[in-house]
Structure 1
Amino acid sequence: MYQEAKRRLRGSIAPIVTPFDEQMNVDVQALKGLIEWHIASGTHGISVTGTTGEPSSLTIEERELVMETAIKTAAGRVPVVPGTGSTNHAEALHLTKRAQEMGADAAMVIVPYYNRPNQQALYNHFKTIADSVDIPIIIYNIPGRTAVNLEVKTLARLAEDCRNIIGVKESNKDFEHVNRVLLNCGRDFLLYSGIELLCYPMLAIGGAGHVSATANVMPKEVADLYNLWMAGEVEAAIDLHYKMMPLNDVLFKDTNPGPLKTALGMMGKMNPALRLPMGPPSVELQQEIRQTLISYGLLDEKVGMKE
């Protein structure tokens, strides 16, 4: 079961934004449209309710709604890996169990944020969640958001003790750390980049793919980065890596997913609304985003949007 999951859960697993309508309710139809666009564009897998999906701005019921919508819309065409983590242990347990009940292909569970648990507490948290379900678990380590780093030795213990902990999304700028993940957890452990500028480098050291927010704007290109690498077209993959850097840079000049939703709004994909306490980028950054999209051919300078 888990070996098959390791085979399927590779490539660009796009972390989809959560669209809101004018009344600030979850826009289910817009979410379905985004998922269909991703599948048509060659995205290898879908993730919802991760950082890019604003889970801390959603109620438990809304998170379940988004998860269920994604699973039903994908309908087995690509794997769906919802984010089920929380700073509240009971909530994380509940959401991970619900993901399994809904038919998710795996669950992505973030290191708890704000409360800064020690390494033994992190081990206990993840092991309890993994032991509660049969579906594969991908741990999500993002120390810049959580204020605590899941150490490699802790991750290796979890990988050894829990058969269904099969991988990790590392939004970790410490490239030595991510190298040591595969050294200590085994080369078949699934390592995903959650840092845009490390998507290509992580493939080069044996990574399984990436969970890149930029895929929301350029799903085909982010998927192609993996496809080119796997096809042995190294120079083309490197060219694409550098081609996407200006877009990657502008999308992270303010807190994700603010710039990302602004871009998708400009592209006509969805209402760009964010729930408080998040807010839109400055007018100056919005203009920079617009010019960047134009430079990539994603918007038409005269009519405002590419057909």
Structure 2
Amino acid sequence: MTRRLQDALAGVSGILATPFDATGAIAPERQMSIVERAIAAGVQILTANGNTGEFYGLTVEEAEAMVAAAGAHVDGRVPLVAGVGRGIRDACRLAKASAAAGAEALMIHQPPDPFVAPRGLSDYVSAVADAGGGLPLILYLRNDQIGTDAIAALCALPGVVGVKWATPNPMKLKAAMAAAPEHVVWVGGLAEVWAPVFYAVGARGFTSGLINVWPERSVAISAALEAGDWDRAQALIADMQVFEDIRAEDQGGANVSGVKTALRMMGEDCGAARPPAAWPLTDPQVDRLRKFMMDNGLLRQAGEKGTRE
């Protein structure tokens, strides 16, 4: 792992939204403004084809197109991480496409297959590593029920340099960190709200969907955590809590919808969130989101667009 990648993982890992046009087709050019805003604000690393990017709602061809577009938008200014996953052949195909697009690391989505064996996961990760041509690997862990031993074994595989921990179990995270190789970087995978909890047990950095809308706040939270200023970090998080609360509603189905509705309010229409997401947001959700946006100066008053049409 390069020093550039290691340092970036300890900061804000921004998860890019995937824009669609009015017909529902991907509209990669609409992502450019999101990338520019994030980089200008100091976001340290960007991820294409993450869950905020509706990875599971995209075809393989669309995911290939989006990582290619993100690579062009980012243009090497910060490290680009590319999400890969689904069936093993799709994951390997995406790994090759991501390497060609200029990704500096691959984020392997934990397979949602109902019949997953720990040793099968090892084979899966190893196959993706081969397809990626030696790119560093970041494991995206959303289910810690595979156990500490299995997690440690995955972390010991060649090429694995990081884990994005996305389960609300900090003590299991602590146990996994103690059991895994020391070189692995552990990143909080539940965004800003959970970042202080994960930092408290030794994680560094966090993922963020907020960066699509308000990257300055994400960067400020990261800086406070890195400085050990817990009071400031908590105060900054409290001011953006409603955004994450809305995204967590509908059993998490409002996650992408909250981001895309906020972008539309800002005059950057990135289309609808694809089913099975909760789209559109309900009127009360829209009202709360608009108040949040106005309170924090995020709306371009003259360009604000409706969100209920």
Normalising by structure 1, what TM-score? 0.89
Deviations along 1:73-122, whole A, 9 cap, x unmatched? 11111111011111x11101111122122221101111111434122222
Q: Name stretches of at least 5 consecutive residues in structure 1 with no aligned partner.
A: none
TM alignment of 1:1-307, pairs within 5 A: 1-2=1-2, 5-86=5-86, 88-132=87-131, 133-143=133-143, 149-162=145-158, 164-196=159-191, 197-254=193-250, 255=253, 256-278=255-277, 279-299=279-299, 305=304
Note the C-alpha offset of 1:257: 0.7
CA pair 155-280 structure 1, distance change in 2 beyond 3 A? same
In 2: Cα distance, 1:116 partner to 1:3 partner: 37
Note the C-alpha offset of 1:54: 0.9
In 2: Cα distance, 1:188 partner to 1:201 partner: 21
In 2: Cα distance, 1:67 partner to 1:191 partner: 24
In 2: Cα distance, 1:35 partner to 1:4 partner: 19
In 2: Cα distance, 1:29 partner to 1:250 partner: 27
Q: What code does the residue aligned with 2:160 have? A: I
Q: What code does the residue aligned with 1:205 have? A: V
In 2: Cα distance, 1:216 partner to 1:150 partner: 32
Note the C-alpha offset of 1:240: 1.5
Q: What code does the residue aligned with 2:209 have? A: A
Of 53-62 and 75-84, more deviation after overlay is shown by: 53-62
In 1: Cα distance, 2:181 partner to 2:276 partner: 40
Q: What code does the residue aligned with 2:298 have? A: L
Q: Name stretches of at least 5 consecutive residues in structure 2 with no aligned partner.
A: none
Deviations along 1:157-210, whole A, 9 cap, x unmatched? 122232x10111111011111112221124542111121321122223322211
Q: CA RMSD in A?
A: 2.2
Q: What code does the residue aligned with 1:51 have? A: N
Note the C-alpha offset of 1:295: 2.6
Q: What code does the residue aligned with 1:182 have? A: M
CA contact (8 A) 2:155 2:181 kept: no
CA contact (8 A) 1:252 1:259 kept: no
CA contact (8 A) 1:193 1:212 kept: no
CA contact (8 A) 1:2 1:166 kept: no
